[in-house]
Amino acid sequence: MAQIVVGTAGHIDHGKTSLVKALTGTDTDHLSEEKIRGMTIDLGFAYLNESITIIDVPGHEKFIRNMAAGAANIHFGILVVAADDGVMPQTREHLDILTLLGVHRGFVALTKIDLIQDDEWLDLVELDVQELMASASFEPVAIHRINNLTGDGVNDLKNDILNLADGYITVHGSEIFRLNVDRIFSKTGFGTIVTGTVQNGMISNGDDIELFPNGIKTKIRGIQTHGGPTDSAAVGDRAALNLLNIKPKILKRGTVLATPNCLKTTNRIIANLTLTPHTNWVVKINQRLRFHLGTAILLGRISLASKHQYKKGDSGNVLIDLESPVAVAMDDRFVVRSYSPMETIAGGIVLDPLPIGKWADVKERTMQLPLVPRSRFEYVLNQDWKLPKTKKEWQLLFFKFEKQINEWIRKLNINESKDGILFSNKAWDKGESELKSFFRQSYRKNPFRSVLSVDGIIAQLKWSEQWLQVVIVKMVEDGILAEETGGFSLIGFEPSFSRQDLDQLKAIEFTLKKSGPEPILVKEIIAQLPFNPKRVGDLLHLLFDQGKVVNLGNNFWLNRSNLDQVIAKMHNLFKLKNEMAVSDFKDLTGLSRKTAIPLLEYLDRMHYTVRNENVRLRGEALHG
C-alpha cells in the first residue's frame, strides 16, 4: 500500500500533540526511538501504521515549515479545534495553508470537550468550524468530539482515517526521485545525514544523487525510514539519507536531493497566485514577500502580474524574482507570507520554473500560461515550437510519468519525429510558412544565392537543428524544397539576370578557368576584377549553385572543368601505380605545394583519394 500522509492543523495549545499521541502512541515531543536508533527522522512525525504517516505540528512556525515541506505528499488534514476556545486566528491560518497546498479534505477533531458541560456551546463551535471550512473550500469527512480525559472519540477518528486511507488511491507525479531536506546532522562513523519526505520516485542504497542548488553530485550510502534501516525509500516515506563525502556545512534546510541532471536552479518563476479568503493584506508589484518553496524559505518580489494588485480571494498569474536560487518543478505548490509582520497571505502553483527569453516573451508567457497542466503542455508546446523538446525532456519539465505525457500526446494529437521531438500540427504549419518566407526574403535580398545552408538558416531563424531537419525533410518530400550541394533551394525559384549580371558572371568564370588546375583565393579574384568584393562572393556562390565552380575550402576556388581534368589525370596515374605521393601530384598538375595541398585535402574529403601517411591511395569516387 502506498504511503498516506495526514497533516494536523490548529491553534497553539488546542491539543494537536496529545491527539497524535492518542492516535499513534507516539509522543512527538519526546522520541525515545531517536536516541535508540541514533538517526532521527523528524520530531514532528508519527505513524498510525506502516502506511499512514501523521505530521504533527505543535508550534506555529514549525507548522508553516513542515506543511510546506511535505506539500506534495499530504493527502488529508485533521483540523484540531479546542472546544473551550473555538475557532482562533491560527485555526484560520493553518486551514488556509492546508488548502493553499492542495489539501481540501479531511477530519475535524473537536478536542477538550471534557472542559465544556454545555452541549449547545459545542454545537455552536461545530457550526463556526463548518462555516470556516466552507469559506476555505475544505470538505470534512467527519467531525469527532474528543474527550481528552477519557479518550472517547479517538478510536472513531482513528477508524475513519484507516477506512478513508484504505480506499484511497494515491496519484504520484513522477518516477524521478526528489526530496526536500528539512534537517541536517552528523553521526560518528556515518558522516552527514539528511532527513525529509520523499516527494517523488524512489531512492536505493548506492544510487547517485545531486544536491540543488549546489549542483554537487554524490552517492547514497545508507537509508532509514520509520521502520529502521532499509535498502530503499519511496514516495511518501519519511527518510534519513546518509550522504557520501558531503560536509554538513554545505547543506541547509531547503536543499533539494534529486536524480542527477533532472532539475535546474532558477531565481525566477512564473506562478499562479491565490490570496487566502481571510487575509487583509493587499499584494502589489515589487512588494517584498517570503516564499516557502519545499523546505526553503526565500525572499523575493512579484515583478509582473496579471492584475495591478491582489486582495483576499483573488487569483492570477505572476512573475516572481527570488533573491536566492531554488530548484523547483512545474505544479509545485508553495506558501507566501508577508515580510513583516509575518502572516500567511497567499499560496501558489509553479507554472514555469525556468522562464527565459526577451522581456516581451516572458511577459506574454506570464499572462497566458494556463493553470491546468494539459492545457499548459499544449500552450508551451506551441509557444516554443522553434525549439521543440523530446518526450523525455517534457517528462523532466513537468515532472510527470511517461504515461501521463503519452496520454496528453494522444488526446492533443501531437506528432513525434524519428529523433523523438514532439510538435503539433499547428507548429508544423508555422514552421513551413516561416521557412518558405525565409527563402523568399533571402532571394529578394540576394537572388544570386539560390542554395541556403542549414547553418545559415539556423543562425537566422533561431531554430533547433532537429526541428529544422523535421521541417526540411517534409518540405522536400512535398516537393517544396530541393536538396542541393551545400544546402537547400526553393523549387520554382528562377533568378532574373541583367546584362551586367551576365557579363560579371562570365568575367569571374573566365578568371577561374584561366587559372587552370591551380586553386585561386577569393581575394585574388577580387584583385583582378573591378567589382564590389561582396558582389564577387555572391556571384561565386551562384556559379557554385550552377555547378560551374568548386569551393575547396579555406577560400580556395577552382573551375569545375579544370578540376575534372585533374581527376582524369589521377585516374590514369592510378592505372600505372597503386599510390600517389605529393611530388607525383605536383608533377601531374604543375602546382606548388601551397596550392597542391588544399586541392589534395579537397580530393580526400570527396573520396577521390584516401590519405595513407604521406601518400594517397585511390578513393571510391575514382573507381570505375
Name the nearest CA neighbour of 414 among 442, 385, 371, 444: 385
Q: What is the pLDDT of residue 69?
A: 55
Q: How confident is the model at residue 544 (pLDDT cuts 50, 70, 90)?
A: confident
Q: What is the pLDDT of residues 40-60, one digit of tens each?
A: 344 467 788 878 888 776 445
Name the nearest CA neighbour of 44 among 21, 75, 71, 22: 21
Confidence (pTM): 0.76
Q: What are phi and psi of 181, to 5 degrees?
A: -75, 130
Alpha-helical (H) ranges within 270-419 are 359-368, 373-383, 391-398, 402-412
Name the nearest CA neighbour of 368 among 354, 352, 353: 352
Q: What is the pLDDT of residues 323-335, one digit of tens each?
A: 999 999 999 999 9
Location of each CATH 1.10.10.10 domain in the chain:
498-624
Q: How confident is the model at residue 62 (pLDDT cuts 50, 70, 90)?
A: low
**Cβ 562 vs Cβ 590: under 8 Å:** no
* 72-76, 86-90, 386-390, 507-511: least confident range: 72-76
Cell reading at 92: 484560520
4-166 homologous superfamily: P-loop containing nucleotide triphosphate hydrolases (3.40.50.300)
CA-CA distance, 160 to 578, in Å (whole number)? 91
DSSP string, 99-150: HHTT--EEEEEEE-GGG---HHHHHHHHHHHHHHHHHTT-EEEEEEE--TTT
CA-CA distance, 17 to 584, in Å (whole number)? 95
The CATH number of the structural domain formed by 498-624 is: 1.10.10.10
Mean pLDDT of all residues belonging to the chain:
87
178-258 homologous superfamily: Translation factors (2.40.30.10)
Is the predicted pLDDT of residue 39 greater than 60, yes or no? no
Cell reading at 117: 458541560
| Contact partners, residue 200, CB within 8 Å, separation at least 6 | 72, 172, 173, 174, 175, 176, 177, 178, 235, 399
Q: What is the pLDDT of residues 6-28, one digit of tens each?
A: 888 888 778 778 888 888 887 76
266-368 homologous superfamily: Translation factors (2.40.30.10)
Burial class (CB in 10 A: 0-12, 13-18, 19+), 90: middle
Mean pLDDT to the nearest integer, 454-464 = 92
Identify the three-state secondary structure at position 229: strand
CA-CA distance, 259 to 424, in Å (whole number)? 30
Q: Tell me the longest C-alpha to C-alpha distance in the chain.
A: 119
**Cβ 622 vs Cβ 609: under 8 Å:** yes
Is the predicted pLDDT of residue 597 greater than 80, yes or no? yes
CA-CA distance, 401 to 124, in Å (whole number)? 47
Q: Return the DSSP state at 71.
A: G
E-strand stretches of 207-353: 208-212, 216-225, 228-230, 232-234, 238-243, 256-258, 266-275, 283-284, 288-293, 296-305, 309-310, 315-326, 333-338, 344-352
Q: What is the pLDDT of residue 37?
A: 43
Is the predicted pLDDT of residue 34 greater than 50, yes or no? no
Q: What is the pLDDT of residue 359?
A: 93
Q: How confident is the model at residue 78 (pLDDT cuts 50, 70, 90)?
A: very high
CA-CA distance, 587 to 576, in Å (whole number)? 15
E-strand stretches of 309-354: 309-310, 315-326, 333-338, 344-352
The domain at 372-496 falls in which architecture? Orthogonal Bundle (1.10)
Burial class (CB in 10 A: 0-12, 13-18, 19+), 239: buried
Location of each CATH 2.40.30.10 domain in the chain:
178-258, 266-368
Q: Give CA separation, 246 vs 63, 193, 199, 219, 594, in Å.
A: 29, 9, 22, 9, 58
